Amino acid sequence: MHTVGHFINGQHVNDPNARTQPVFDPALGVATRQVALASTATVQSAIAAAEAAFPAWRETPPSKRARIMFRFKQLLEERAEQLCALITAEHGKVLSDALGELQRGIENVEFACYAPELLKGEHSKNVGPAIDSWSEFQPLGVVAGITPFNFPAMVPLWMWPLAVVCGNTFVLKPSEKTPSSTLFLVELAKEAGLPDGVLNIVNGDKEAVDALIDSPVVQAISFVGSTPIAESIYTRGCATGKRVQALGGAKNHAVVMPDADLDNAVSALMGAAYGSCGERCMAIPVVVAVGDAVGDALAERLAAALKQMKVGPGTEPGNDMGPLVTPAHFEKVKGYVDAGVAEGATLVVDGRQTRIASAPEGFFLGGCLFDHVKPGMTIYRDEIFGPVLSIVRVGSLDEAMALIDAHEYGNGTCLFTRDGEAARYFTDRIKVGMVGVNVPLPVPVSFHSFGGWKRSLFGDLSAYGPDGVRFYTRRKTITQRWPSSGVREKAVFTFPSNQ
Amino acid sequence: MHTVGHFINGQHVNDPNARTQPVFDPALGVATRQVALASTATVQSAIAAAEAAFPAWRETPPSKRARIMFRFKQLLEERAEQLCALITAEHGKVLSDALGELQRGIENVEFACYAPELLKGEHSKNVGPAIDSWSEFQPLGVVAGITPFNFPAMVPLWMWPLAVVCGNTFVLKPSEKTPSSTLFLVELAKEAGLPDGVLNIVNGDKEAVDALIDSPVVQAISFVGSTPIAESIYTRGCATGKRVQALGGAKNHAVVMPDADLDNAVSALMGAAYGSCGERCMAIPVVVAVGDAVGDALAERLAAALKQMKVGPGTEPGNDMGPLVTPAHFEKVKGYVDAGVAEGATLVVDGRQTRIASAPEGFFLGGCLFDHVKPGMTIYRDEIFGPVLSIVRVGSLDEAMALIDAHEYGNGTCLFTRDGEAARYFTDRIKVGMVGVNVPLPVPVSFHSFGGWKRSLFGDLSAYGPDGVRFYTRRKTITQRWPSSGVREKAVFTFPSNQ
Amino acid sequence: MHTVGHFINGQHVNDPNARTQPVFDPALGVATRQVALASTATVQSAIAAAEAAFPAWRETPPSKRARIMFRFKQLLEERAEQLCALITAEHGKVLSDALGELQRGIENVEFACYAPELLKGEHSKNVGPAIDSWSEFQPLGVVAGITPFNFPAMVPLWMWPLAVVCGNTFVLKPSEKTPSSTLFLVELAKEAGLPDGVLNIVNGDKEAVDALIDSPVVQAISFVGSTPIAESIYTRGCATGKRVQALGGAKNHAVVMPDADLDNAVSALMGAAYGSCGERCMAIPVVVAVGDAVGDALAERLAAALKQMKVGPGTEPGNDMGPLVTPAHFEKVKGYVDAGVAEGATLVVDGRQTRIASAPEGFFLGGCLFDHVKPGMTIYRDEIFGPVLSIVRVGSLDEAMALIDAHEYGNGTCLFTRDGEAARYFTDRIKVGMVGVNVPLPVPVSFHSFGGWKRSLFGDLSAYGPDGVRFYTRRKTITQRWPSSGVREKAVFTFPSNQ
Amino acid sequence: MHTVGHFINGQHVNDPNARTQPVFDPALGVATRQVALASTATVQSAIAAAEAAFPAWRETPPSKRARIMFRFKQLLEERAEQLCALITAEHGKVLSDALGELQRGIENVEFACYAPELLKGEHSKNVGPAIDSWSEFQPLGVVAGITPFNFPAMVPLWMWPLAVVCGNTFVLKPSEKTPSSTLFLVELAKEAGLPDGVLNIVNGDKEAVDALIDSPVVQAISFVGSTPIAESIYTRGCATGKRVQALGGAKNHAVVMPDADLDNAVSALMGAAYGSCGERCMAIPVVVAVGDAVGDALAERLAAALKQMKVGPGTEPGNDMGPLVTPAHFEKVKGYVDAGVAEGATLVVDGRQTRIASAPEGFFLGGCLFDHVKPGMTIYRDEIFGPVLSIVRVGSLDEAMALIDAHEYGNGTCLFTRDGEAARYFTDRIKVGMVGVNVPLPVPVSFHSFGGWKRSLFGDLSAYGPDGVRFYTRRKTITQRWPSSGVREKAVFTFPSNQ
DSSP string, D325-382: SSHHHHHHHHHHHHHHHHTT-EEEE--TT---TT-TTS-----EEEES--TTSHHHHS
Alpha-carbon span B251 to A133, nearest angstrom: 22
State the average pLDDT for chain B: 95
Alpha-carbon span D163 to D161, nearest angstrom: 6
Residues of C in contact with B482 (CB under 8 A): 419-421, 424-425
Residues 442-471 of C with CB under 8 A from B: 445-447
CA nearest B117 in C: which residue?
C447
> Which residue in C113, C166, C281, C368 is the catalytic one?
C281
Which candidate, C67, C210, C188, places its Cα nearest to that of C144? C210
CA nearest A428 in D: which residue?
D125
Q: Is there a contact between D480 and C96 if contact means CB atoms under 8 Å apart? A: no
Q: Say whether residue A437 is in contact with chain C using an 8 A CB cutoff.
A: yes
What pLDDT is attached to residue B489? 36
pLDDT in tens, D250-270: 999 999 999 999 999 999 999
CA nearest B119 in D: which residue?
D124
Residues of A in contact with B304 (CB under 8 A): none
Please determine, for residue D489, whether its predicted confidence score (pLDDT) is greater than 90. Answer: no
Q: Say whether residue A253 is in contact with chain B using an 8 A CB cutoff.
A: no
Sequential pLDDT tens for chain A (499 residues): 899 999 999 999 998 888 999 999 999 999 999 999 999 999 999 999 999 999 999 999 999 999 999 999 999 999 999 999 999 999 999 999 999 999 999 999 999 999 999 999 999 999 999 999 999 999 999 999 999 999 999 999 999 999 999 999 999 999 999 999 999 999 999 999 999 999 999 999 999 999 999 999 999 999 999 999 999 999 999 999 899 999 999 999 999 999 999 999 999 999 999 999 999 999 999 999 999 999 999 999 999 999 999 999 999 999 999 999 999 999 999 999 999 999 999 999 999 999 999 999 999 999 999 999 999 999 999 999 999 999 999 999 999 999 999 999 999 999 999 999 999 999 999 999 999 999 999 999 999 999 999 999 999 999 999 999 999 999 999 999 998 753 323 455 666 654 4
Nearby residues of D212 by Cβ (< 8 Å), 6 or more positions away:
D43, D47, D144, D146, D171, D173, D218, D221
CB A43 within 8 A of CB A211: yes
User: What phi and psi values does residue D494 have, to the nearest 5 degrees?
Assistant: -85, 165
Please determine, for residue D39, whether its predicted confidence score (pLDDT) is greater than 60. Answer: yes
CB C80 within 8 A of CB C102: yes
Gyration radius from chain C CA atoms? 25
What pLDDT is attached to residue D497? 58
How many beta-carbon pairs below 8 A join chains B and C? 69
Alpha-carbon span C422 to C165, nearest angstrom: 41
CB B212 within 8 A of CB B48: no
What pLDDT is attached to residue A490? 40
Q: Say whether residue D73 is in contact with chain A using an 8 A CB cutoff.
A: yes
Helix (H, G, I), strand (E, B) or coil at C257: coil
- Strand-pairing partners, residue B477, are A434, B135
- Strand-pairing partners, residue B170, are B143, B199
CA nearest D63 in A: which residue?
A107
What pLDDT is attached to residue C486? 36
Rounded alpha-carbon distances, angstroms, from residue D450 to A222, A435, C241, D232, D464: 38, 40, 18, 20, 6
pLDDT band, very low/low/confident/very high, at B17 (cuts 50, 70, 90): confident
Q: Which chains touch B (3 or more CB pairs under 8 A)?
A: A, C, D
Q: Say whether residue D436 is in contact with chain C using an 8 A CB cutoff.
A: yes
What pLDDT is attached to residue B465? 98
Alpha-carbon span B312 to A52, nearest angstrom: 54
Alpha-carbon span D235 to C190, nearest angstrom: 38
Alpha-carbon span B295 to B346, nearest angstrom: 13
| Min Cα–Cα distance to chain B from A45, Å | 24
Q: Is there a contact between C421 and B445 if contact means CB atoms under 8 Å apart? A: no
Nearby residues of A350 by Cβ (< 8 Å), 6 or more positions away:
A337, A366, A368
Q: Say whether residue A317 is in contact with chain C using an 8 A CB cutoff.
A: no
What pLDDT is attached to residue D494? 64
Q: Say whether residue C478 is in contact with chain B using an 8 A CB cutoff.
A: no
Helix (H, G, I), strand (E, B) or coil at A412: strand
Alpha-carbon span D428 to D408, nearest angstrom: 19
Q: Is there a contact between A125 and C129 if contact means CB atoms under 8 Å apart? A: no
Helix (H, G, I), strand (E, B) or coil at C298: helix
Residues of A in contact with D118 (CB under 8 A): 117
Which candidate, D363, D365, D339, places its Cα nearest to that of D352? D365
Please determine, for residue B487, whether its predicted confidence score (pLDDT) is greater than 70. Answer: no
Alpha-carbon span B143 to B147, nearest angstrom: 13
User: What phi and psi values does residue C412 have, to the nearest 5 degrees?
Assistant: -130, 165
Residues of C in contact with B446 (CB under 8 A): 116
- Strand-pairing partners, residue D162, are none
CA nearest C233 in D: which residue?
D239
What pLDDT is attached to residue A487? 32
Q: Say whether residue B240 is in contact with chain A using an 8 A CB cutoff.
A: no
Q: Is there a contact between B424 and C132 if contact means CB atoms under 8 Å apart? A: yes
What region does C280 belong to: left with phi over 0, alpha with psi -120 to 50, or beta? beta
Alpha-carbon span D85 to D93, nearest angstrom: 10
CA nearest A499 in C: which residue?
C64
What pLDDT is attached to residue B148? 98
| Min Cα–Cα distance to chain D from C296, Å | 20
| Cα distance from N-terminal residue to C-terminal residue, chain A | 73
Q: Say whether residue B242 is in contact with chain A using an 8 A CB cutoff.
A: no
Alpha-carbon span D40 to D49, nearest angstrom: 14
Q: Say whether residue C275 is in contact with chain D using an 8 A CB cutoff.
A: yes
Q: Which chains touch C (3 or more CB pairs under 8 A)?
A: A, B, D
Neighbours of B129 (CB within 10 A): 11
DSSP string, D80-139: HHHHHHHHHHHH---HHHHHHHHHHHHHHHHHHHTHHHHT-EEEEEEEETTEEEEEEEEE
Percent of chain C past pLDDT 70, that is, above it, reads: 97
Please determine, for residue B252, whether its predicted confidence score (pLDDT) is greater than 50. Answer: yes
CA B54 to chain centre: 26
Among the partner-chain residues B97, B436, B453, the one whose CB lies closest to the CB of A474 is B453
pLDDT in tens, A384-401: 999 999 999 999 999 999
Query: Position C359: which residue type?
Result: A
CB C255 within 8 A of CB C272: no
Among the partner-chain residues C114, C425, C482, the one whose CB lies closest to the CB of B114 is C114
> Which residue in D84, D113, D281, D368 is the catalytic one?
D281
Percent of chain A past pLDDT 90, that is, above it, reads: 95
Instruction: Please confirm, yes or no, whether A281 is among the known catalytic residues.
Output: yes
CA nearest D138 in C: which residue?
C428
CA nearest C423 in D: which residue?
D480
Sign of CA dihedral D390, D393, D397, D398: negative
Residues 112-131 of B with CB under 8 A from A: 122, 124, 127-128, 131
Q: Which chains touch A (3 or more CB pairs under 8 A)?
A: B, C, D
Please determine, for residue B287, whether its predicted confidence score (pLDDT) is greater than 60. Answer: yes
Q: Enter the DSSP assignment of C450.
A: B
CB B404 within 8 A of CB B431: yes
**0.90 surpassed by pTM:** yes
Q: Which chains touch D (3 or more CB pairs under 8 A)?
A: A, B, C
Q: Say whether residue A235 is in contact with chain C using an 8 A CB cutoff.
A: no
What pLDDT is attached to residue A494? 64
Residues of B identified as active-site: 281
State the average pLDDT for chain D: 95
CB C478 within 8 A of CB C134: yes
Domains and CATH numbers, chain C: 3-248+456-478 (3.40.605.10), 253-437 (3.40.309.10)
Which candidate, D251, D247, D256, places its Cα nearest to that of D426? D256
pLDDT in tens, D314-361: 999 999 999 999 999 999 999 999 999 999 999 999 999 999 999 999
Nearby residues of D27 by Cβ (< 8 Å), 6 or more positions away:
D88, D92, D312, D313, D314, D315, D322, D323, D359, D362, D364
Strands C346-349 and C243-247: unpaired
Q: Say whether residue C335 is in contact with chain A using an 8 A CB cutoff.
A: no
Best probe of the B interface among C110, C122, C479, by most B CBs < 10 A, is C110
Q: Is there a contact between D445 and A116 if contact means CB atoms under 8 Å apart? A: yes
Alpha-carbon span A106 to B497, nearest angstrom: 10
What pLDDT is attached to residue A497? 58
What pLDDT is attached to residue B16? 86
Please determine, for residue B256, whether its predicted confidence score (pLDDT) is greater than 80. Answer: yes
CB D66 within 8 A of CB D112: yes
Alpha-carbon span D270 to D284, nearest angstrom: 9
Residues of chain C with pLDDT under 50: 486-491, 498-499
Best probe of the A interface among C125, C135, C424, by most A CBs < 10 A, is C125
Alpha-carbon span C26 to C13, nearest angstrom: 26
Residues of D in contact with C107 (CB under 8 A): 497-498
- CA angle at B104 for the pair B101 and B110, rounded to the nearest 5°: 145
